[in-house]
């Protein structure tokens, strides 16, 4: 199940204004981290990705909009010890077999709306509706979200499972190719991220 968890932290001792009825908060890219995990039949690989920029739109206590732009040219592997094999994987992920970064240097998550659903224990769960664009192809996704906030700052942690084949990334996919053996790569990969917004300060 896709999950997206938001929580808020108070930053420093600076004097801050209240988040208003509708407020746009910029994401602090230097304090944010993005991690990915891809799985194959023989194991998995993991790494990091940089966020170029982003913002979220708050309305009262809910996230109703926003956009995150990911720098796909920054794909980095963190689990392979050999520099040679690590670089080989990173370069392969940037080719047309995977994210084709020469033509599509950015991936975009655009938050469109918000709604509530009822969980198994009759709990109300917030849901975010967003468009995810990879390789110039857009698909709508939705995922649960928990929101907490102080007066003017937001911290977010989330995890989303993504079916790469929806974005025409079919390399060694068992869904499209037979007899791959131990070369098969699973269709889903996971993106985990920790985001922090910039505080709103009195001028």
105 part of a folded domain? yes
The Cα-based distances of 3 to 6, 144, 158, 159, 180 in angstroms read 10, 5, 6, 5, 31
202 part of a folded domain? no
**Rg of the chain in Å (alpha carbons):** 19
pTM recorded for the entire structure: 0.82
Q: Regarding beta strands 185-196 and 22-26, do their DSSP bridges make them parallel or antiparallel, or are they unpaired?
A: unpaired
pLDDT of the residue at 121: 67
132 part of a folded domain? yes
pLDDT of the residue at 62: 73
Query: Mean pLDDT in each 10-residue stretch from start to end of the chain (203 residues)?
Result: 36 36 81 95 97 87 86 98 98 98 97 78 76 97 74 76 96 96 96 82 43
List residues bridging with 16 in a β-sheet.
201
44 part of a folded domain? yes
37 part of a folded domain? yes
The tally of domains found in the chain comes to 1
Range(s) of the domain holding residue 97: 3-196
At 148, is the secondary structure helix, strand, or coil?
coil
pLDDT digits (tens, 9 = 90+) for 137-161: 999 988 777 776 667 677 777 788 9
List the CATH number of the domain containing 112.
Answer: 2.40.128.110
What tokens appear for 119 in the block? 């969980």
At 183, is the secondary structure helix, strand, or coil?
helix
CA 163 to mean position of chain CA atoms: 13
């Amino acid at each position: 199940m896709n999950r997206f968890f938001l929580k808020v932290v108070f930053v420093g001792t600076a004097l801050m204004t209240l988040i208003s009825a509708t407020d746009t908060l910029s994401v602090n890219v230097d304090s944010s981290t993005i991690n990915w995990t891809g799985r194959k039949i023989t194991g998995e690989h993991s790494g990091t990705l940089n966020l170029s920029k982003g913002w979220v739109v708050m309305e009262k206590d809910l996230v109703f909009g926003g956009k995150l732009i990911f720098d796909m040219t920054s794909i980095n592997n963190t689990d392979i010890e050999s520099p040679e094999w690590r670089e080989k994987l990173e370069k392969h992920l940037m080719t047309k077999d995977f994210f084709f970064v020469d033509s599509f240097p950015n991936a975009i998550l655009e938050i469109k709306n918000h709604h509530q659903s009822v969980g198994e224990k009759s709990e109300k769960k917030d849901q975010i509706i967003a468009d995810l664009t990879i390789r110039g192809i857009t698909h709508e996704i939705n995922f649960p979200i928990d929101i907490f906030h102080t007066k003017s700052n937001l911290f977010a942690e989330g995890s989303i499972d993504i079916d790469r084949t929806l974005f025409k990334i079919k390399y060694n996919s068992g869904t499209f190719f037979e007899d791959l053996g131990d070369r098969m790569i699973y269709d889903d990969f996971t993106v985990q991220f920790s985001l922090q917004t910039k505080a709103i300060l009195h001028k």
